[in-house]
Structures are given as structure tokens and as C-alpha cells.
Amino acid sequence: MSFLGKCVSLTIVYFSFYQSSVKAQAVSQPAQIAWGRYFDDTISDSDFAKEDLGERIYYYLNDVFIVGRSKSDTLGFANCDGSYSGGSGDAFVASYNPSCQKYNWIRYFGSSASTEYAYCAALDRVGDQTWIYIAGEVNGTKKQVNIAGQACVGGCSSVFQTTNNDKWDGFIAKYNAVTGQLVRWTFFGGIGRDQILGIAVDTISHKVYFNGYTESPAWLNYSSYSFTPFKSDLSGVGDMFIGCLDSCLNTLQYFSYYGGNNSDRGHDIQIIYKNAARYLILSGTTESSTGIVPPGSNYYDNTYGGGTDGKSPDAFMLIWNIKNLSNNPDWSTYFGGSAADRGRGTDITRNYDIYWTGQTQSSPDNSGTFSPTSNAYQPQKNLGIDCFLTKFHISSFNPVTVSLDFFTYFGGEKDDFAKSVRAFHSNNSADGRDSVAIAGLTYSADLPSKDSTAYFLSKSINGNNNENKRDAFIAVLTNDPANPTANQKLSSFMYLGGENDETDIKQNDVLVQKSYNPGLESGPNGSLFIIYSTKGIKTKKNGNIPIEYSAFHCPAGGCNSQNSIQPDAYFAQVYPFPQRFIPSQCLAGKMENATSGNELINFYPVPFSNYTILNINLNEDKDADVVIYDILGNIVIHKNLSLYAGDNKINLDFSDYAKGVYLSRINLAGKIYENKIIKQ
């Protein structure tokens, strides 16, 4: 993620010029599982033998944020005063510093009469303040859940919905991402079941968009609002909904149902910025043969592949201009064959590629709309359930014009479930647009069966090739930019898990399931972060855990015992490819922007004592010339760097220099950025 700051222009005048060249102390990083951590592993508390589920993971401004649900800690709260009211399960959000390997803070959200789950989160930065919104559901055993939506701090006096309308409502909570302070939170729902499964923040207007699933018939008086919904009531058993609130979580900017004659669920929401326009990318799963692709609209496939019985759903996707939400989507599609197909995560690149993943039981169809492309890694489906991976490309926005660039199956001899996707930089690609990572769950022991030149970080499922339980996995597929019609290559693969199940799904992907993990996120220096739920109880290197799992650890009082096999949330950082980069040091303090534009450049911390980190986030590979001057214009640090697309972190050592103001001048492929930093 990135945000836009102010560019500070400085004029440097000096008479003497002295240059000292200091080489960047880069290190070679092999492809590996760098580290892993159980959510509960720092707390000696017998209650942590209970269930902890990890759902999604985010990397933002040098920190990792994780969300999910915990039954272990009974001290959850959702009150402004911080009084405890934990129940049978609480949502949690935690901030973790991957360089320091420690938590910044952990917060719980819950009530003594209800169970809460955080399914998703979104981060936003306004000036020098960073916020994190978490969203999910509040599920009470009865209509009253003993908590009320509140505005805790700041200039907002109220929130949109202070009380629940039913025992099962959605919620959105806003926290200070630096301190973990609860700022405000609101219920969101009517008389029926409501879940928020996806959330995104417009980083310019700071409006909060979200989608999910609802069984609540019309519960808003639309005449009280200034918007017209696309659809004002339920169409079938349950619908996807789309909502928008202001940053105070007070004023409803938009709400609409979206669906057809059966059940429809939204899973993910993203925002595309195109000049002054904003487009929502919405994906999910539908059992409706009508209502998803409006008649006469712009579409890829307007035919529901699963028949009309409502038992073989299709995936679906919408592209919608936020100024046009009362009319048909700008583009829409079903995606699926004659069997069950489910849409899950999406990721958007800067050149408007939409990567989309999910799971399918459908073989290729005769129409050609659900047939792998000629460059597919896996052109045919294996038995059971396979993952699918697609890339749609938006070539025009006026009108919206979309093409299918590739579609491949990914799966083994047993069932495989893709959940998350991230466009990923590879050393094999000139601009990073042709590699993509997917994360999911699998029963198949034969996934890394092709491309012997790939990096296999862990080849064995469940530690001993036992296929009775699921493992999490990450797979990276790459197209050769020099030969785009050639088959995709499996560039990197890893199983993640022990001898027990790496999930808490009890049923076969129905709404009563507790989790949609694993979650996947792009990290710094060519890494990936993953979070999932694990029931592994043997965490030492032995016959049941492969040697690659030295990242696992089980501190006293933190892991499950032989007598209580409950899942733990587990998150890790992995390097799918060898990399060469400047490692980060463990530093605390505030971050200051150095510039704006397509690149994000900042220093962390500022002010600093002896060390600060220069963080450069790039759209593509670039060379950089970094020069640091003292106030007299003398060069004290000079680094020539070859940087990758994504986050690059450069340690700057000022231990030999005096306290005071220093000036930075960074040349990125001919663009000059300048700012001042302070040693104190």
C-alpha cells in the first residue's frame, strides 16, 4: 500500500565539496521460510489452549497487522473506556514489527453475550495519522449483545448504528494504527444475518467501502438519504451488499443489495484509481442464475454455469464506477462451469491487471469462457476441487473494456482451495507484472510435481506425506516476458503445516464455516507474509515435521497440548526467491515522508539517534543514487543502489556524525527528491 505526501524542495548552497562513498551493506537472502510465529506465543496463559483463528494479514509502513478471532483471552472489550466484556470468542487485531520480532500492540473486540470475528481490515493515512479499520460480524446468542456502538475519541460525536438490529450483525471498528487505541465502532445490519467480508478505504476521500453477505430484508428508509440504491431489497435467500460510510463511521454514503434469485455472497473489494475516477472491484460467489450480470450490460460471460438448482455456484466479479452505483455495473461476469465454482481474493496492479483466485469443481466448458488459456500452467482439472487463477486486464475505462489474459487450474490429486492472491515481483520478470502468488489449503501431496528448476521451500505435505489433513501452501506462477505465449512456470512452492489440519473449517465451504484463511500479503525485499490457522501440536523438528519448519516454535504456555488440539493463528514471512537487499534494523519512532508521486520515499524514525532507515517503494525496478549532505553541503553518505519493485529498506548509519540537520537528495531514474532529516 502507498499514500501520497508532500514533496519538499530544498536549495543547497555550499563552497567546499567533499565526497565519501559508502557502499550499501547488502546481504544475500536465500529462498526460505524466514520466521513464523503463533499468535499466542508470548503469553503464559493456560487459556491460550483454546481456539485462535488467523484470517488476514497486512503490511503497511514497516509493520504487519493481523486480524481474526480468539477464544483464548477472556479480556476482550468493545467499550470506549476499555472495560472488559469478553465472551465466547472475540475479534482481535494486532500490530507486529517484523524487524524487531515483537508486537507493538494487541487489541480484542467483543462482548460477554456474543461471539465476534474480524474477517478483514484496511489501513489509511491522513496527514501524520495512520488508522486501521477492522470489520466482520457480531453474533449474539440473543438479540441483545451487551455492547453499543460508540464514538470514543476525536471530533465525531456519534456512529451510524449504536445498537444491533438482530443477534447477527456486521461491525466496523476504527483504531489508531500506531497506539492501538479504539477510536470508534458501529454495528451494520438489519433483521437477519449480516457479515462484512471485505473492506477498502479511498485514500483520497477517506471514505470506507465494504461488502459481504446479508439475509436482512430492507431495513433502511432510503428517502432519508441522498443516494439511490441499485437494488433496494433482497432478491433471494441472501444477497451481497455494498456499503460506504464516512471516516467517522457516522454518515451512510451508499448502500445497496446486489444479487439474484438465490444466494449471493461478496468476498472481496478493491479500489482502482483512474485519474479523478474511482472504480470498485467486487468479487464473490453466487448461486443465482439471474441478477448478477444485468441484461444489456457490458460483460465477459453473462451465463450462469451452475444450472438453476442453486447448488453449483459460480464465481462472479463486478467493476463499478463509484459515481454510477445506482446504475448497472460498468462491467460484470459470471465465472464458472457446470459444477461448483467459488470466487475468493483479488489483487490489482498499477497497469490495471486484476488477478483473481478461487476454487472450482468444473472442467473446461464448450463455450470457451471457462477454458484455460493457451499459456496455462495446468490446462486440465484434476480430480475433486482445484484452485483457479485468472488475470483480467482493463485496457480502457471509457467504456470499461476488459480481456481475459490468462486462466489456469492449479491443483493435485486431491482437493485444493485457493483463498488469496498477490501480484508478485520475480527476478525473472522485467517489471514484476508477470509473476503472481496464491495461497490456500490443500490435501494434495503432488502439487510441486512440475518445473524441477523451481524453488521448493518445503516439498512434503503434513511433514510426512500424510494426506488426511490439510496444509496451507504458497505457489508462485510466472510468465516469461520474452515469450508471453509460453506456458506459465511454477517458480516457487512451499507447504506450510504440521501433521494436523491447518484450518478450522468444519463444513464444506458453507456460511457456517469459521474462517476464510489463509491470508496473503506482499512484504518488503521480495518477501510474502501469510496467516492461517493451524492445529499442529508437534512443533519440534522430528519425524513428523520437515526440517524446513525450524521457523516453528512453541514457548511455554503458548501452544496446544496433546490433550487440547485447538487451532492457533500462525503467521510467517517467506522469501519465495533468493534476494539481495539491505536488511532492516529494529528501530522505533515516527516515520516522515520524503516525497510524493508514484513512489513512496520515507525515513524511519525521524528524528533518530544513530540509525535511520530509508524506505523506497517502487512501481518497478530502478537504480537509485542516494546522497546525504550535512548543513554545509558536505557529502557524508553516498550510495548507488539497484532496487526492486516493492519495498526497499536501506540502513543509514550516522553514528560517526554530529547531531543536527542533514539533507537528502535521491535520484530515481532522473527524478530528484529532496528532504531534511534530523539526528538528535
Q: What is the mean pLDDT of the chain?
A: 81
Say whether 551 sits in a helix, a strand or coil: helix
Amino acid (one-letter) located at 637: I
Q: How far is CA 160 from CA 186, 244, 481, 488, in A?
A: 6, 11, 49, 48
Local confidence band at 35 (pLDDT 50, 70, 90 cut-offs): confident
CB 209 within 8 A of CB 270: no
* Residue 232 confidence (pLDDT): 97
Residues whose CB falls within 8 Å of the CB of residue 563, separated by 6 or more in sequence, listed in order: none
Take residue 9 and report the three cell numbers written for it.
524542495
Residue 504's pLDDT band (cuts 50, 70, 90) = low
For residue 17, pLDDT over 80 is answered with no
Q: What pLDDT is stored for residue 541 in this prediction?
A: 34
Phi–psi pair at 292, nearest 5 degrees: -90, -50
CA distance 652 to 636: 10
Residue 529: which of 42, 30, 60, 52 has the closest Cα? 60
| Confidence (pLDDT) at 591 | 45
What's the pLDDT tens digit per position in 61-84? 889 999 998 877 556 666 776 666
Q: Tens digit of pLDDT for each residue in 203-229?
A: 889 999 999 999 999 999 999 999 999
Residue 252's closest CA among 348, 168, 367, 172?
172
d(CA 393, CA 296): 21
> What is the arithmetic mean of pLDDT over 602-626?
81
Q: Which residues does 78 contact at the CB level (< 8 Å), separation at least 6?
A: 85, 109, 110, 111, 116, 147, 173, 182, 185
Q: Between the ranges 87-96, 519-528, 566-575, where is the mean pLDDT highest? A: 519-528
Specify the higher pLDDT residue, 33 or 72: 33
Omega of the bond leading into 607 within 30 degrees of 0 (cis): yes
Which residues, at least 6 apart from 123, have a Cβ–Cβ distance to it below 8 Å? Answer: 1, 58, 60, 65, 130, 131, 132, 133, 177, 201
pLDDT band at 588 (very low <50, low <70, confident <90, very high): low
pLDDT in tens, 429-480: 444 447 899 999 999 989 988 778 889 888 888 755 555 778 899 999 988 6
pLDDT confidence band for 242 (50 / 70 / 90): very high
| Cα 134 to Cα 146: distance, rounded to the nearest angstrom | 20
Measured in degrees and rounded to the nearest 5, phi and psi for residue 115 equal -115, 130
Phi first, then psi, for residue 124 (nearest 5°) are -145, 150
* Structural contact between residues 265 and 170, judged by C-beta atoms closer than 8 angstroms: no
Kindly provide the b/e burial profile for residues 54-63, where b requires at least 16 CB atoms within 10 angstroms of the residue's own CB: bbbbbbbbbb
pTM of the model: 0.84
Q: Which residue in the block uniquely carries the three cell numbers 542533514? A: 662
The one-character DSSP state at 299 is B
C-alpha cell at 128: 501524520
Task: Give the model's pLDDT for residue 53.
Answer: 85
pLDDT tens per residue across span 160-200: 999 999 989 999 999 999 999 999 999 999 999 999 999 99
Q: Over 80: is that where the pLDDT of 500 sits?
A: no
Q: Say if residues 131 and 95 touch (Cβ distance below 8 Å).
A: no
Distance CA 666, CA 680 (A): 22
A 10 A CB-CB count for 621 gives 17
Among the ranges given (200-209, 413-422, 607-616), the one the predictor scored with the smallest mean pLDDT: 607-616
List, for residues 117-158, the tens digit of each pLDDT value.
Answer: 999 999 998 887 899 999 999 988 666 677 888 898 878 889
CA-CA distances (angstroms) from residue 384 to 336, 361, 368, 409, 646? 15, 6, 21, 12, 36
